[in-house]
Amino acid sequence: MKPPNDLRYLRYLIATGMLLATMSASNEAASQTPFSLTISPSEGSAEYVPLLPVIVTIELKNVSTTTQSIAGAGLDVVERSEWEDPPRYSFQIIQPDGTFRSAFFCDWVNWTVDGPHMANPPQSLGPGCRQILDFLLGFGFQGTPDRKMRYVELLSQSTSVFPETGEYHVWLLMPRLKPAAVASNALKITVKQPEKPNDIQAYDILSHSHWPNIFLSPLVVPGGAQGISAVPDLPDLRGYATTMPLETCKEILNRCPDSAYAPYAKAYLATAVIAGWKERVVPTKPEILPPERRIEGARLLRQVAEDPRLPRRYREQALLNLSRGAEEINRVLQRNGTQKRPSLENILGGVKVDTADMGDNTILKFVYRMTQGTLPKDVEEKFLKVKFTADQLEAIRKVVVSDANIATAIGVTPVQKELESLIGWAERELRKIPWRDPNTGQLTMAAIPSSSP
């Protein structure tokens, strides 16, 4: 059979030659390395429709008989202010037209995640132990990494990792591992035009929208971090651009609820609601939805996190958004309640009581718990009954059980209890993810023993 004689085939041969040269150098070094590196489709299938993210599961394993250091080189996060040189993850791609390119910084795992979800990765891997991580290949940096680049420059050179339909061949290179860089297996990724009527309609809506790439990165509530993102910057989302992506999501959900795109639209919309982004058409001072509306987003995010149609990476982000968003809503409610509730001094008719620097809300919460029978006896006997007379405690009790603003200020309304329940559920679900601590939900990329599934 005569080989095809066209430009695409020629490009493919050139790109393959370049990649084989890279792989050959890596393979020569691989004989010296104690690690194996594999990438596989996170959800089992390597076939996708356009404008939805590709997510691969990375597994780094110590195949030697001795403990190996992975400090600063294994599956980890990197602070935004200190881009690594070379980047920890370098994805090598042969495109459908046969051309070759690299992609970097495609997932927020490249950046530090704040608060209780801060990563604390292992410094070494024991014999047979491995690390595992789902990595997003949706939207990434396509240029040559330079530590001197400003964030806006990185964004300007970032685009979809798989911008057109066709077959892609993808390798992962981790150049920071010692004693030599390690290359993964080759993975064929196929992006096909939608075939189902619902998918065709949803793709048409999304591809003709102002921001067709919005599902290529999970939306993150304020306080999170996401690195290079397909989602427009937060100031835009809170300004004139807000209505556009939200209306796109609503249209997909209303017209194509069973499409492959609908779960991503619901995740985007739920996150926007819990964050309080208010729709508008013209630039204005940022406005935030009232907490009563934002709670709807928390309920929706639980549905998103339970949706098996979404990849695990996006369900994980839904859990993080739910936890952070619900905590922030509760803080707003408590602050509003505190501003409106009567002070302890007013409740006691102008009498001031030395409460040992404890705030009014703490005292009111103590009394509330005393009425519920959940306050430790030593707090009741050694503090409340020492600081207040029986008549004063009764006066406080009567107001605590009847004043709605006090209930909100101390966080015991039915809605606040629902928020606490949702936060607890999200934290428990995060503990089930293999790259998180099973006791805390903290992002650890822990070493998994060889005997584990």
pLDDT, tens digit (0-9, with 9 covering 90-100), for 358-389: 899 999 999 999 999 999 999 999 899 999 99
Q: Give the C-alpha separation, 257 to 49, whole Å.
A: 16
Q: What six digits make up the tokens of 413? A: 């309304």
Q: What pLDDT score does 150 carry?
A: 75
Q: How far is CA 378 from CA 133, 362, 382, 390, in A?
A: 47, 16, 5, 16
CA-based nearest residue to 296, from 186, 127, 422 = 422
Enumerate domains of the chain plus CATH numbers: 7-191 (2.60.40.2970), 197-334+414-430 (no CATH), 343-402 (no CATH)
Residue 50 amino acid letter: P
**Which pLDDT band holds residue 224 (cuts at 50, 70, 90)?**
very low
Contact in structure between 98 and 10 (CB atoms under 8 Å): yes
Q: What pLDDT score does 240 carry?
A: 40
**For residues 96, 101, 104 and 108, what is the CA-based torsion angle, rounded to 10 degrees?**
-10
In the predicted model, what is the mean pLDDT of residues 251-268? Answer: 96
Whether residue 86 has a cis bond before it, omega within 30° of 0: yes
Q: How far is CA 291 from CA 123, 296, 298, in A?
A: 42, 9, 11
Percent of the chain surpassing pLDDT 70? 81
Q: Output 80 or 72, whichever has higher pLDDT.
A: 72
Q: Give the C-alpha separation, 171 to 102, whole Å.
A: 10
Mean pLDDT rounded to a whole number for the chain: 84
Contact in structure between 225 and 75 (CB atoms under 8 Å): no
Looking at the DSSP bridge assignments, the partners of residue 337 are: none
In this prediction the pTM is 0.86
Strand ranges inside 333-372, DSSP E: none
Q: What pLDDT score does 31 carry?
A: 57
Contact in structure between 177 and 33 (CB atoms under 8 Å): yes
**Which pLDDT band holds residue 435 (cuts at 50, 70, 90)?**
confident
pLDDT, tens digit (0-9, with 9 covering 90-100), for 304-318: 999 999 999 999 999
Helix/strand/coil for 51 = coil
Task: Give the relative orientation of helices 262-275 and 291-305 as an angle to the nearest 10 degrees.
Answer: 150
CA-based nearest residue to 173, from 95, 104, 81, 245 = 104
Contact in structure between 228 and 140 (CB atoms under 8 Å): yes
Q: What pLDDT score does 281 carry?
A: 46
Q: What pLDDT score does 243 carry?
A: 67
In the predicted model, what is the mean pLDDT of residues 331-345? Answer: 95
Contact in structure between 387 and 344 (CB atoms under 8 Å): no
Q: Output 180 or 93, whichever has higher pLDDT.
A: 93
Q: Give the C-alpha separation, 279 to 283, whole Å.
A: 11
Quote the longest CA-to-CA distance of the chain: 100
**Which pLDDT band holds residue 212 (cuts at 50, 70, 90)?**
very high
Q: Output 266 or 119, whichever has higher pLDDT.
A: 266
CA-based nearest residue to 266, from 311, 200, 215, 207 = 215
Q: How far is CA 84 from CA 151, 208, 226, 275, in A?
A: 14, 37, 16, 31
Contact in structure between 53 and 65 (CB atoms under 8 Å): no
**Which pLDDT band holds residue 349 (cuts at 50, 70, 90)?**
very high
pLDDT, tens digit (0-9, with 9 covering 90-100), for 393-403: 999 999 999 99
